[in-house]
Amino acid sequence: MYNVQPGYGAPQTHHRAYSGGPPNYSQQQPAHGHRVHGGGYPAAGPPPGADPQLWSWFSAVDADRSGAISVTELQSALLNGNWTNFDLDTVKMLMSIFDTDRSGTIGFQEFVGLWKYIADWQNVFRHFDRDRSGSIDGRELSEALRSFGYNLSPSLLTLIEHKYASEPAVGYGPPPGITFDRFVRACVVVKTLTESFQRYDTRRDGWVTFNYEQFMTIVLSAP
């Protein structure tokens, strides 16, 4: 038997500071404004109706001019606010979400959805980074998850913070806390695990019974 705090996954009854909820990766509209770097341009031109700015960014990230973006190319292009590259596990998570044809790479149309998803998460991150430190601390993380509707215990929040926070920097370096890339992954993992739990919690009482294989499937399927 596994239990979570009563009210898991349920919206709070008090005032919610953020009403947008976590971004939905099914949204496919173009977005602008996220930093990239890289070079190279695929031989083929943009598809009909492609957003010129998005095509330019896609072409810059596609360093080997293959017409598709690899994990390595995507990681080299995605930067946190402190100019550190995205964590590889977060990049792989994004690839798994948007590589809809399971080719192992991201084509242009998949890139459009990915870019919108990242831009939406940037807006969420900026909203909860109250002190504008460029990272999310425990209090800000708690506020974000509550606003998304996840009522987690203090011990769970501490566990999440410790799991996803960056290592303390020695001398010059990013501030302590959860960087943008790790914040996205933490929220997606909480969402995924909660939804998996809810599928088994048919009585909605916070208690479920499942066997070892079901448990391992839930855990290993998490991003």
pLDDT tens-digit profile of 70-126?
999 999 999 998 888 999 999 999 999 999 999 999 999 999 999 999 999 999 999
Write b or e for each residue in 106-144: b if 16 or more Cβ atoms lie within 10 A of its Cβ, otherwise e.
bbbebbbbbbbbbbbbbebbeebbeeeebbbbbebbbbb
Q: Kindly give the residue spans of alpha helices, DSSP state H, lying in 84-209.
A: 88-98, 108-128, 138-148, 154-164, 180-200
Band the pLDDT of 178: cuts 50, 70, 90: very high
- The answer to whether 71 and 59 are in contact (CB under 8 A) is no
pLDDT computed for residue 20 by the predictor:
63
- pLDDT above 70 covers what percent of the chain? 78
Q: How many CB atoms lie within 10 A of CB 62?
A: 26
CATH number, domain containing residue 170: 1.10.238.10
Asked if the model's pLDDT at residue 180 lies above 90, the reply is yes
Half-sphere exposure of 194 (CA within 13 A, CB side): 19
Q: How many domains does the chain have?
A: 1
Residue with tokens 């790479």: 105
- 20/78: higher pLDDT: 78
Band the pLDDT of 171: cuts 50, 70, 90: low
pTM of the model: 0.77
- 43/109: higher pLDDT: 109
Band the pLDDT of 39: cuts 50, 70, 90: very low
Alpha carbon 25 to its chain's center: 9
The residues facing 207 across adjacent strands are 3
Asked if the model's pLDDT at residue 10 lies above 70, the reply is no
- pLDDT above 90 covers what percent of the chain? 66
pLDDT computed for residue 44 by the predictor:
63
DSSP 46: P
Mean pLDDT across the chain: 82
Q: Rounded to whole angstroms, how far apart are CA atoms 200 and 218?
A: 11
Q: How far apart are the first and last CA of the chain?
A: 23
Q: Which domain holds residue 136?
A: 2-221
